Chains A and B, each alone.
Chain A
């Protein structure tokens, strides 16, 4: 249990970005933890434990997504009031609380959220995401673009509630 207590924050920090419900987050964390215990013999002593554990959690989350959704069936979301990237004020993001930002990220469509998380937070390349999720590079780019648009609009709405989002 000591190991669990120590690794829990790290595992949970990823799970909260991918899953909306706490129940799903915990399921993913627990599954990853059990996988880690099962395959602890495969861990090389000179490698980074954190990196290894994060990879297990990420793979578990991707697998969970695969079980629930089909990546090929993407619903393209049209935005009504699109804000050009140049017009977005970075100060809005700076002034947003991390927990609020997490809630906004969780409003993204599942496929877009997965791609955005992997690219922006977990430093995956477009090629890696494309291979991992078996989708084309263009689809990955589209998801990134869509995610950023939704996030910018939602953040702008926090400042100026006149904007409407069709999500």
Chain B
């Protein structure tokens, strides 16, 4: 008889289904072994997981304990790791008093002193190295409950050409100061740092950067200073603003084709001499008027110096080393004002915030400034406009004077 594929498959299926199998003792033994191996493998995995969890918990607990015990030690390690190797011994300043005299630290000191004596302190290369000096921790910090370090207040120590700094601004902890020389031509920024090496006792008038330890400053501290030529620095703010695409002044119209010189306009031209025409920088696509010099008022905000132009148009954030962190044009857009009068900026030392007052035709508007981008946040509008309001903000409260009376108003956070 001939078959179809279906019949063929069906017959095979029937034949195979008739087969019978029984398990042997050896098969069962094999399965037992396999089950045992699987069980021990699972136990092993559970053990490893448990160990891992215990390890993570233990390291977490240790870390917690470590930071709780002395966050100053953590600070030390963090700072020193980035510093130059020879400065590592400076970490001694962070150690508790009874550890300062230990042998290992004492042995490094002569080498360090010798190194500093060999190299003149005033070189820029040295300044770069000194930038890695750890800053003095703000306020009183306890070291494992054994000792306390008080960051030195430097506002009464820093002098330039033998005179205290003019119009000086200091940080809350008095560890950073920014002020001017007596003649107003120099801007001096000084900051206390942790270092035990030998240093001059006076600020050198010939160097722009350096460190010194004035009399009255503790042995484990130095003052690192930077002297800037004020005009050059402020021009640098403005110049760099232009090249960052921010319009500081009016953009001159492109020069038109030369007018046909008629008798009439020849006479007119004769009245306007070339001395009165602005100095134009010729550029293929843009032409700028030369930047007008503008003074800046400065404040210390955390570890940076905040500069606000006198006409309250620009804000710049600079590090004590002279690196510009941000620059922005101050933007006042809300609420819409037909007339924008005088703007003044004032700094709240307690909160570190900057506020602006803007006079309009009928009100004084108060804003909070974001120094990072120049954006302003409208806070309140006062009912009137009057001369000499003497605005100031202390801990979020606006103080002002009107008709010889003092007023104050809470600004919303």
Question: Which of chain A's residues have a CB closer than 8 A to the CB of B8?
Answer: 85, 88, 90, 93, 148, 151-152
Contact A85 B3 (CB under 8 A): yes
Question: Any chain A CB within 8 A of the CB of B379?
Answer: no
Which residue of chain B has its CB nearest to the CB of A87? B2
Tell me the minimal C-beta distance from A5 to chain B in angstroms: 6
B13:A90 contact, CB within 8 angstroms = no
**Using Cβ atoms and an 8 Å threshold, which residues of chain B touch A119?**
9
**Bitwise interface map of A from 102 to 132 toward B, beta carbon under 8 Å scored 1, else 0:** 1001000000000000011100000000000
Contact for B28 among A4, A85, A96, A148, CB less than 8 A: A4
Q: Does A94 contact B (CB under 8 A)?
A: yes
Q: How far is the CA of A17 from the CA of B21 in the complex (A)?
A: 13
Q: Could you name 13 residue pairs across A and B whose Cβ atoms are closer than 8 Å?
A: A12-B21, A16-B19, A30-B34, A33-B31, A85-B4, A87-B2, A88-B8, A90-B7, A93-B15, A96-B15, A99-B19, A120-B12, A151-B8
B30–A120 touching, CB < 8 Å: no
Contact residues of A between 129 and 151, Cβ < 8 Å to B? 144, 148, 151
Q: Which residues of A contact B13 (CB under 8 A)?
A: 120-121
- Using A5-B28, A96-B15, A121-B16 as known contacts, list a sample of 15 further A-B pairs with CB atoms less than 8 Å apart, ordered by residue number in A: A1-B28, A4-B23, A8-B23, A26-B27, A30-B31, A85-B4, A88-B2, A88-B3, A93-B15, A99-B19, A105-B16, A120-B13, A144-B5, A148-B9, A152-B8
B window 9-50: CB within 8 A of A: 9, 11-13, 15-23, 27-28, 30-32, 34-35, 38
Report chain A residues within 8 Å CB of B27: 8, 26
Residues of chain B within 8 A (CB-CB) of A99 are 19
List B contacts of A152 (CB < 8 A): 8
Q: Is B1 interfacial (CB 8 A cutoff)?
A: yes
Shortest Cβ gap from A15 to chain B (Å): 9
Q: Does A89 contact B (CB under 8 A)?
A: yes
In the bound complex, CA of A166 to CA of B34 (Å): 40
Number of chain A residues close to chain B: CB under 8 A: 35
Contact call A90/B21, Cβ cutoff below 8 A? no
Q: Which B residues have a C-beta under 8 Å from some C-beta of A?
A: 1-5, 7-9, 11-13, 15-23, 27-28, 30-32, 34-35, 38
Within the complex, the shortest CB–CB distance from B52 to chain A, in Å, comes to 23
| Neighbouring A residues of B16 by C-beta, 8 Å | 13, 17, 98, 101-102, 105, 121
Cβ–Cβ contact A26 & B12, under 8 A: no
Q: Contact between B2 and A90 (Cβ–Cβ < 8 Å)?
A: yes
Is A86 interfacial (CB-CB < 8 Å)?
A: yes
If A8-B22, A8-B23 touch, does A93 touch B31 (CB 8 Å cutoff)? no
B21 with A16: CB separation less than 8 A: yes
Q: How far is the CB of A119 from chain B (nearest CB, A)?
A: 7
Q: How far is the CB of A93 from chain B (nearest CB, A)?
A: 5
Which residues of chain A have C-beta atoms less than 8 A from B9's C-beta? 119-121, 148
Other-chain contact of B21, A9, A89, A101, A105 (Cβ < 8 Å): A9
Cβ–Cβ < 8 Å partners of B5 in chain A: 85, 144, 148
A34 at interface, CB cutoff 8 A: yes
Q: Verify B31–A121 contact, CB threshold 8 A.
A: no
Q: Count of A-B contacts with CB under 8 A?
A: 87
Q: B97 to nearest A CB, angstroms?
A: 64
| Chain B residues closer than 8 Å to A17, beta-carbon distance | 16
Q: Tell whether, in the assembled complex, residue B21 and residue A34 are in contact, meaning their CB atoms are under 8 Å apart.
A: no
Q: Given contacts A8-B23, A8-B27, A33-B31, are A89 and B1 in contact (CB under 8 A)?
A: yes
Interface residues of A in 2-20 (CB under 8 A from B): 4-5, 8-9, 12-13, 16-17
CB distance from B30 to the nearest CB of A (A): 6
A87 CB contacts on chain B under 8 angstroms? 2
Q: Is the CB of A98 within 8 A of B15?
A: yes
The 9 A-B residue pairs with the shortest CB-CB distance in the complex, in nearest-first order:
A120-B9, A8-B23, A12-B21, A90-B3, A9-B21, A98-B15, A90-B1, A98-B19, A121-B13
A34–B339 alpha-carbon span in the complex (Å): 85
A91 in the interface (beta carbon within 8 A): yes
Inter-chain contacts of B34 with A (CB < 8 A): 30, 34
Chain B neighbourhood of A86, CB < 8 A:
2
Inter-chain contact B20/A9, CB cutoff 8 Å: yes
Other-chain residue from B17, B22, B23, B38 in contact with A34 (beta carbon distance below 8 A):
B38
Residues of B with C-beta under 8 A to A90: 1-3, 7-8, 11
Most chain B C-beta atoms within 10 Å of own C-beta, residue among A13, A33, A89, A152:
A13
Q: Once the chains bind, are B19 and A13 in contact (CB under 8 Å)? A: yes
Q: Give chain B residues whose Cβ lies under 8 Å from the Cβ of A89.
A: 1-3
CB distance from A24 to the nearest CB of B (A): 13
Distance A1 CA – B1 CA, assembled complex (angstroms): 47
Complex Cα distance, B4 from A119, in Å, reads 15
Query: Bound state CA distance, A114 and B38, in angstroms?
Result: 28
B contact residues around A13 at 8 Å (CB): 16-17, 19, 21
From residue A35, how far is it (CB to closest CB) to chain B in Å? 11
